[in-house]
Amino acid sequence: MERRGAEPRDSELPLAAGEAPDERRGPAAAPLQVGQLQGRPERGRQSWAITKLASTGAIVMRFMGPTPSAEVFECLAALNEMMPGKNANIIFDLRELHGHNPETKQPFKNWLLENKPRIGQITLVLPKAATINKMAAAVISLATGITFKIRDDLDERAAIAGGL
């Protein structure tokens, strides 16, 4: 059937040499892979960002998309650089975290154990429906002896201010 004035549908396009039929549908056609953020291929962006709030000195570490294993140690090194000698107020914003990478658990647990004397408070900001993250936090809390404050009452677009 010919359609005038319209682009051909994917199913009507001829395949290029060596092209599989699903390759034309773009990144949304396949499930998210490590290194992709919200269905878009990674373009040099890290899956995390870190900042220190000038008003309170709280360290805010925000995670976006899946966290590739290769970035964990870089992330922890950046956190180490911002840590004060004692009473650190650290906020892990996991509202945009997608997927679960089990390889990140042990490095974070080790980091927490090594830095326990420098930590004053850790707050996890999670979406309400993040039951698996809450369970993982409970397991890590028990393993390290560090209590986490859980906040799941913030809108996903709400900015973190004042160190919660």
pLDDT in tens, 83-92: 999 999 999 9
Across 103-108, average pLDDT = 91
Res 164: pLDDT: 57
Burial of 65 from C-beta contacts in 10 A (0-12 / 13-18 / 19+): buried
Work out the percent of the chain whose per-residue pLDDT is above 90: 47
Tokens of 63: 């995670």
pLDDT tens-digit map of 14-68? 444 444 444 333 333 333 333 333 333 344 678 999 999 999 999 999 999 888 9
* Dihedral sign from CA coordinates of 79, 92, 96, 102: positive
Strands (DSSP E) along the chain, which ranges? 36-37, 40-41, 48-52, 59-65, 88-97, 119-125, 148-151
Q: Which CATH class is domain 48-151?
A: alpha beta
Average pLDDT, the chain: 76
Q: Determine the Cα–Cα distance for residues 82 and 119; give it in Å rounded to an integer.
A: 12
> Shortest CA distance to 47 belongs to which of 62, 32, 31?
62
Res 7: pLDDT: 42
Weakest mean pLDDT among 26-35, 92-101, 106-115, 140-149:
26-35
Q: Determine the Cα–Cα distance for residues 45 and 37; give it in Å rounded to an integer.
A: 9
